[in-house]
Structure 1
Amino acid sequence: MSLLIAIDADTVLQNRFLGFLIWQSIQSAVVFALSKALLLSPFTSSPLSPSLGGAAAFLAFHLSLLLFSASLSLLASPSPDRAASPLELALAAARFAVASAPPAPDLRRRARVSLGFLLFLSATAVSAFVSVASVCWKCDSFSGTTWLRSLAVGLLYGLHYVYKRRWVLEFPIIQRPPFFSFKMGIPSAIGQALKLSGAGYLVSAMLSFFLPDVYKSQVAMQKFLAEEIVFYVGCFVVFFCWELSHHLHQVLHTKRLTFAPPKGSAAAETNPSEPLLAALEGSPPKSLLQYLAYLDLCMVCERNVDTWRRAAFFEETGETYKRVLAVCLRPLEQFTLKLAEGSESYSANNSLQLSHQLHSPAERQADSRLYEPFQDIQLYAWCARIVASLTAHSHKEDRFGVAQLSGSNAAVISTLVSCLLAVEASMGKKTNLPSPNYLMGPAGIKWATHSSGRRDAAAGITVKRKGSPLYSRAYSMADILRTSIYCIVSTFHDEMVNSSKAGLLEKDWVLMSKPLYGTHELIVQKLRLFLDFQAS
C-alpha cells in the first residue's frame, strides 16, 4: 500500500515538472516573439521576413532555456543545505588519496550540494552564451563580443542566484490558485530582470575592455551605441525569461498536494490517514515530498475544510494520533537539542569574548552552530502549528479521549515550552528561575539587588544579535511557538486552572522526565506565565 502511495506521489511530482517545462516553453516563446517584434525591430533591417537562421535561433533559445530549467529543478530544494568549502573538499580528497579514508556522510552530502552549485553556474553561463546570442541574432548591430560577454552575464546571474539562496523553495502562507500566484509575480520578475540585466551589462562592459584586439573593431559611435542597446535588450529578455521560470517553478512545486484517498471510496472509509502517514514516515528526510506532506497535514489540522480527515486521527485505538504526533514532535525535539548544544557553545565563547572584546574563531563557529538549526524553520513552524491545532481540536473532537489517556497533551506542552526556552536563550533572553537576589519586602513587594555589570553585558549581547539573521529567525520561531502554546492554553484554560488550584498542573500537563532544555521547575514556571497570559 505504502509503495503504491509513494509511486503515485512521485508521479504527481513528475507531472508537475513536465507541466513546468510546458508552461515555461509557452511563456518563453511569447517573450521571444514580442521582444523581436517590439524591442529589436528598429535594429533589424527585415524583422518580419522568415529565414532558416531565425528558426535555428528560436530553437537554440528554447534549448538553452531548457538547460536552465533542468538545472534549476535539480538545484531547488525546500531545505537550505550548507555546501562544502573548497578547503574541506581538498582535505577530504587528500585523506582519501593517502589513507583511503572515506569522507563522512555529512561531508558527502555537502559535497553534493557544492557539485550542484557548480553545475548550476556552468548551466547559466552556457545558457546565457546561447540564449543572448539567439535573441540578438539577425540584428544589424550584432557583434562577436556578444558571445563572450554573455558568458560573464550568465555567470553573474548564477552567482547572484546561489548567493541569495533563491534556489530554496518558499511555501506561501496562503495557498492561491497557480494562475493568480503566477500573475502576481510578473511585476517583480520585470523589476528583478531590469536590475540584474543592468548589473550584468555594466560588468560585461568593463570586461570587454580586457578582450584581445582581435575581438574589437573600430566602429562609429552610432553603431557602438546600437550594439550596446541590442546587448542590453538581449540580456533583459533572457533574464526576464529566467525570472519567469524561477517564479513558475516556485508556484507549481509549492502547491498543496493532498495525501488522501478520494472521498467516498473504500480507503476513505477504512483508513484515510494511511497515505499521509506513509508519506511522512517513508519519504526521504528534507525532501520535497516530505515538506508537501507536512503542509497538507498542517492545513488539515488548522482548517475546517477536511474535517473528515482530521476526525480519522482520533480513532478508537489511538495509534493514528500517536503516529501523527510522533512525526511532528520528533523534528521539534531535534531542533531543541541542537539549540541546546549551540547555546552552551555560544555562552562559553561569549564569556571569553566579553573578556577580550574580540571575535575569536571559536565564537564564530559557535554562532554558526546556533544559526544552522534555524535553516529548517519552515518545517519546525509547521510541526508546532500541527501539534497545537490537533491538541486544541481534541478538546471537542476526541470522542474516545485518546489525546488525554495517552499522555500526548503533556508531551506536546513540554516539547513546545522546552523549544521556546531554547529559542529565547539563543536570542539572549534570560530563561533561568528568579535568583535569591529578589528579596521579599513589606506588603509582599519584591526588591531586587543591583547587578548592573552583568545586566549591561547581557544587554550588549542581545543588541549585537538583533541585527543578525539569527535574531530575526529566532524571533519568528519564538512568535510561532508562543502562538501555538497560547492556542492550547486558551482552549484548556478552565481545566488547567482547576489543575493548578488542586496542585496537579505539573502532573497533568508536564512530563516528569528530564526536559530537552531547562529544568522541570522552569517548564512549570513558564507554563504558569502562559496560564496567566503574561508570557511574551
Structure 2
Amino acid sequence: MSSTDIIVKNRFLGFLIWQWIHSTAIFIIFKTIFLLPFITANPFTPSLVGCLAFLAFHLTLLLFSASVFIVASPQPDRAASPLEIALGLVRLVLTSSESTPDFRHRAKISLSFVLLVTSCALSGFVSVVSLCWANSDAFDGVLGLIGRVGLKGFACGLLYGLYYVFKKRWVLEFPIIQRPLFFSFKMGLPSAIRQALKLSSVAYLFSTLLVVFLPDQFKSHRTVGKFIVEQVIFYIGSFAVFLCWELSHHLHQVLHTKRFVFAPPKGSAAAETNPSEPLLAALEESTLGSLLQYLAYLDLCMVCENNVDTWRRAAFFEETGETYKRVVAVCLRPLEHLASKLGEGLESCSVDNSNQLSHQLRSPTDSGPDSKFYESFNHFQLCVWSARAVASLTAHSHKEDRFGVAQLSGSNAAVISTLLSCLLAVEMFMGKKTNLPSPHHLMGPAGIKWATPNTRREAVRGIINKKKGGPLHSKAYSMADILRTSVYCIVSAFHDEMLASAKSGVLDKDWVISSKPHYGTRELLLQKLRLFLDFRAI
C-alpha cells in the first residue's frame, strides 16, 4: 500500500474511533435517562446481558459504518438497473461474451447499494433490540421483544437504507469553506437531531403496519397502558438508533471531505528540494474518481488560489519548468475530458435528431445521448477545481514566474484554449449561440441574408428544456459561469499583453494552440477570446 493510499485508510480509522465515542454516549444517555422510568432493574449495575447488548449495538454500527464507507463516492456514479443486470447475466450465459468495464462498474455499484440496504436492516433489527433489552418485561418477555421490536427495527433500517440510496446521501459533498473538524461536526448536530426525529416518526408509522402481518403469538394483547409504554419504549429506541446513524453520516462527510495537505513538513529536507512531488504523485497516480484524487485537486486549488502556502506555489515555477508543465497537465485533464465527452454527446444528439429511425429502434436499455451528458458532468467538482486552479496559477505567473516557464513552455496558450473550448462545449449544450458567422457567409446573390437552422442546437435545446431545474441544468450553468470567471481572471492579468498581440496580429499565435482544440475550431476560439478582451463575453 502506497503512502497516499494510507491517507484514506487513516481517515476511516479515525471515523470509526469518533463514531464509537458518540454512539457510546448515546447508548448510555438513552439507557440511563430516557429509558430509566421503564427499567425495573438498576441500570448502573453491570450484567452479562447488558454487556452483550452493548457489544451487539456497536457491532451493528460497525457494519453500518463499513457499508457507508464502501458505498461513499465523491461523484454520483450511475448504478445498473435490475433489468440491465438481468440482461447482462442472460447475455453472459447465452453468448459467453465478457461484459464491458462500464457495465461491471455499474453492477458493482448496484451490489454495494444492496449491501448498504441489507446492513441497515440488520443494524436496525439488532440495535433497537439491544437498546430495549432491559425492558423485555414490557414486551411479554424476550420472544415478544424480538418478534415485535426486532421486526419493527428491521423495517426502520430497511426504510433508512432505501432513503439513503435514493436521496444520494452516499455522495461526498465538499464544503465551500473548510472549517475545523470540531466546528464542522458541531454545526451539523441540530440538523442531525431534526432529521432523526423526522425519520423515526415516519419509520414508526411504517413499522407499525407490519404488526398486522405478525403471527398471533407475537402480537400484543395487553392493556392500553402497557401498550402505550411499549410504543414509547420502541420510539425512544428507534430515535436513538436513527440519531446514531445520522451522526455517523455527518461525521463521515466531515472527516472525508476535510482538506489534506500533500506536502512535506515546512523546513524539512524534502520541502527544500522537491516540495511538489507528494501532490503531483497523488494527482497523477490516483485512480480516476477516487477520494484521494479529489483531495489532491482540492489541495492544489487552495494552493493556487490562496496566499497561505506561497512557498508551495513558488515551487511550481522552478527553473526547468517540468513541475509547472506537470501541474498544468493534470489541471487540464478533467476539462479536456469534459469538452471531449460533451462534443461526442452533441454529435450523437445531432445524428439521432436527423435519423429518427435509429432513435425509434433504440433498445430500452440503451443509455442514449441524455445519459452521455450525465456522464460528462460526473466529474463536475474536479472540473471546477481544475478551472479555478489553472486560472489562478496562470494569473499568478504574471508576477511570480521569474524564469518565464509559463510562456516559454506554451502552457498559457494551452490553458486559454482548453478553457475556451470547454466553455464553447458547455454553452452549446445549454442551447446558446456559440458560432459567430461573418456577414458575407449567409448573404445570397441578391444581397439577402439567409438563416441556416442549427439542428444540433435545436436537439440539445430540447434535452436541456426537459431537464430544466434539474441537477444537469444547474451544473451546466454553474460550469459555464466558472469557466467564464476563469478566463476573465487570466485576461485581467495579461490584458495589456493580449491587446498588444491583437494589435500586432499575433494573438492566435501567442494565446491559441496550433493544433485542433478538443471542441470547436481555432477561429472560433480566437473570436471568443476577442470577446473576453472587450469584456463582452457573457
Q: Same fold (TM over 0.5)?
A: yes
Inter-CA distance 41–73: structure 2 relative to 1 (3 Å threshold): same
SS at match of 1:238: helix
CA distance in 2, matches of 1:453, 1:65: 56
Which residue number in structure 1 is paired with residue 142 of structure 2? none
Which residue number in structure 2 is paired with residue 91 of structure 1? 87
| Cα offset, 1:449, TM superposition | 8.0
- 2:519 is equivalent to residue 523 of structure 1: no
- 2:515 is equivalent to residue 513 of structure 1: yes
Deviations for 1:328-367, whole angstroms, at most 9, x for unmatched residues? 11121111111111122334445789xx99x996997221
2:430–2:460 Cα contact (<8 Å) kept: no
- 2:485 is equivalent to residue 483 of structure 1: yes
CA distance in 1, matches of 2:216, 2:336: 63
What pairs with 1:370-409 in structure 2 (closer than 5 Å)? Answer: 370-409=373-412
| Cα offset, 1:527, TM superposition | 1.2
SS at match of 1:209: helix
Deviations for 1:195-236, whole angstroms, at most 9, x for unmatched residues? 211221121122222223232132222222222222222211
Inter-CA distance 460–117: structure 2 relative to 1 (3 Å threshold): closer
SS at match of 1:466: coil
Which residue number in structure 2 is paired with residue 101 of structure 1? 97
SS at match of 1:246: helix
Which residue number in structure 2 is paired with residue 24 of structure 1? 19
Which residue number in structure 2 is paired with residue 61 of structure 1? 57
1:328–1:384 Cα contact (<8 Å) kept: yes
| Cα offset, 1:55, TM superposition | 2.4
| Cα offset, 1:309, TM superposition | 1.0
Which residue number in structure 1 is paired with residue 117 of structure 2? 121
Count residues with an aligned counterpart: 522
CA distance in 2, matches of 1:458, 1:367: 9
Which residue number in structure 2 is paired with residue 296 of structure 1? 299
| Cα offset, 1:308, TM superposition | 1.0
2:384–2:479 Cα contact (<8 Å) kept: yes
What pairs with 1:120-269 in structure 2 (closer than 5 Å)? Answer: 120-139=116-135, 140-142=137-139, 143=145, 144-269=147-272
Residue type at the aligned position of 2:247: L
- 2:473 is equivalent to residue 493 of structure 1: no
Inter-CA distance 449–77: structure 2 relative to 1 (3 Å threshold): same
Inter-CA distance 196–41: structure 2 relative to 1 (3 Å threshold): same
Residue type at the aligned position of 2:521: T
Residue type at the aligned position of 2:171: V
CA distance in 2, matches of 1:132, 1:524: 65
Decide which moves more: 204-213 or 261-270: 204-213
2:84–2:365 Cα contact (<8 Å) kept: no
SS at match of 1:478: helix
CA distance in 1, matches of 2:98, 2:464: 41
Decide which moves more: 323-332 or 448-457: 448-457
| Cα offset, 1:472, TM superposition | 0.7
Which residue number in structure 2 is paired with residue 429 of structure 1? 432
Runs of 4+ in 1 over 4 A off after TM superposition: 348-353, 359-364, 435-440, 447-463
2:75–2:378 Cα contact (<8 Å) kept: yes
Decide which moves more: 253-262 or 339-348: 339-348
TM-score, length of structure 1 as denominator length: 0.91
1:432–1:522 Cα contact (<8 Å) kept: yes
Unaligned runs of at least 5 residues, structure 1: 1-5, 441-446
Inter-CA distance 317–429: structure 2 relative to 1 (3 Å threshold): same
Deviations for 1:421-448, whole angstroms, at most 9, x for unmatched residues? 11112222121224759999xxxxxx98
Unaligned runs of at least 5 residues, structure 2: 140-144
Matching residue within 20, 32, 40 for 1:37:
32
Which residue number in structure 1 is paired with residue 75 of structure 2? 79
| Cα offset, 1:180, TM superposition | 0.5
1:349–1:362 Cα contact (<8 Å) kept: no
1:340–1:517 Cα contact (<8 Å) kept: yes
- 2:411 is equivalent to residue 414 of structure 1: no
Which residue number in structure 2 is paired with residue 275 of structure 1? 278
| Cα offset, 1:41, TM superposition | 2.2
SS at match of 1:261: coil
Residue type at the aligned position of 2:34: L
Inter-CA distance 458–132: structure 2 relative to 1 (3 Å threshold): closer
CA distance in 2, matches of 1:365, 1:64: 41
